[in-house]
């Protein structure tokens, strides 16, 4: 099988590049660093897929846990996602596009979600994709009042949107690096998240 590993930053991919090189798997795996956010991800991935095809695309990276029962380092499958804030304000209410009578949808459900024996062992969660990573009590409270998502990222919904538009199979694997709360880097565990993510991606590839 031919795989594409997609991440927002090189830091989320670098250890995997080294391991895949050590195991002589370069011929079956390509890498794409998109940049952070939905716009950068949509542009970079769409442009890349114009000239290449893959059996499966993995969007990998760290994530913040809106659900604080998810332990740091936990690797999850985000099997549905949504674009936070896509809608129209009407006084105190925020209308969805459908409620406003407009085309489009903030929810992004992958049409060709790739699953195998390894992903079946991982927790399945709903994702929320934001333009601004949450770090203030009031914004976090608003998110939780509007969404039942378990994890927050800045690229996931864009990834699945492109996969749906281009008709390719994809899956989003995320490792929890922090809880979504008032910004407190001392409570994060990036090293654990990246290490567990690397292990999970290798197990995923080898199980295909």
- DSSP sequence for 74-135: -EEEEEEEEBTT-SEEETTEEE-TTTTT-S--SEE--TTB---TTGGGSPEEEEEE-SS---
Burial class (CB in 10 A: 0-12, 13-18, 19+), 104: exposed
Q: What is the pLDDT of residue 127?
A: 98
100 — pLDDT class (breaks 50, 70, 90): confident
Q: What is the pLDDT of residue 28?
A: 95
Cβ neighbours of residue 81 under 8 Å, at least 6 residues apart? 107, 108, 109, 126, 127, 128, 129, 156, 157, 159, 160, 172
Q: What is the pLDDT of residue 69?
A: 96
Taking residues 198-206, what's their average pLDDT? 96
For domain 3-207, the question of CATH label 3.40.50.1580 is answered with yes
The CA-atom distances, in angstroms, between 106 and each of 46, 85, 140, 173 are 19, 8, 18, 20
Query: Residue 166 belongs to what H/E stretch?
Result: helix 156-166
Looking at the DSSP assignment, which residues form a beta bridge with residue 4? 30, 57
> Taking 90 as the threshold, does the pLDDT of residue 99 lie above it?
no
Q: What is the pLDDT of residue 90?
A: 85
Q: What is the pLDDT of residue 193?
A: 96
pLDDT in tens, 12-54: 999 999 999 999 988 999 999 999 999 999 999 999 999 999 9
Computed over every residue of the chain, the mean pLDDT equals: 95
pLDDT in tens, 70-98: 999 999 999 999 999 898 988 878 888 88
* Residue 148 backbone phi and psi in degrees, to 5: -105, 15
pLDDT in tens, 103-137: 988 999 999 999 999 999 999 999 999 999 998 89
Q: What is the pLDDT of residue 180?
A: 96
8 — pLDDT class (breaks 50, 70, 90): very high
Q: What is the pLDDT of residue 91?
A: 83
Domain spans, the chain:
3-207
The answer to whether 163 touches 173, Cβ cutoff 8 Å, is: no
Cβ neighbours of residue 90 under 8 Å, at least 6 residues apart? 100
| pTM for the structure as a whole | 0.95
Q: What is the pLDDT of residue 95?
A: 84
DSSP 172-196: EEEEEEEESSS--GGG--HHHHHHH
Between CA 34 and CA 10 the distance in angstroms is: 9
Between CA 171 and CA 154 the distance in angstroms is: 16
């Amino acid at each position: 099988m031919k795989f594409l590993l997609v991440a927002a930053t090189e830091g989320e991919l670098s250890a995997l590049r080294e391991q895949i090189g050590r195991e002589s798997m370069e011929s079956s795996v390509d890498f794409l660093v998109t940049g952070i956010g939905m716009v950068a991800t949509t542009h970079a991935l769409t442009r890349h897929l114009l000239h290449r095809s893959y059996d499966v695309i993995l969007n990998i990276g760290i994530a913040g846990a809106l659900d604080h029962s998810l332990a740091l380092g936990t690797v999850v499958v985000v099997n549905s996602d949504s674009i936070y804030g896509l809608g129209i304000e009407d006084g105190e209410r925020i209308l969805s596009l459908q409620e406003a009578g407009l085309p489009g949808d903030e929810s992004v459900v992958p049409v060709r979600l790739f699953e195998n024996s390894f992903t079946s062992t991982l927790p399945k969660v709903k994702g929320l994709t934001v333009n601004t990573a949450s770090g203030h009590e009031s914004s976090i409270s608003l998110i939780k009042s509007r969404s039942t998502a378990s994890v927050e990222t800045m690229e996931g919904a864009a990834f699945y949107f492109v996969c749906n538009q281009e008709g390719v199979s994809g899956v989003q694997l995320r490792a929890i690096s922090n809880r979504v709360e008032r910004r407190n880097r001392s409570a994060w565990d990036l090293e654990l998240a990246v290490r567990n993510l690397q292990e999970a991606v290798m197990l995923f590839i080898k199980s295909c």
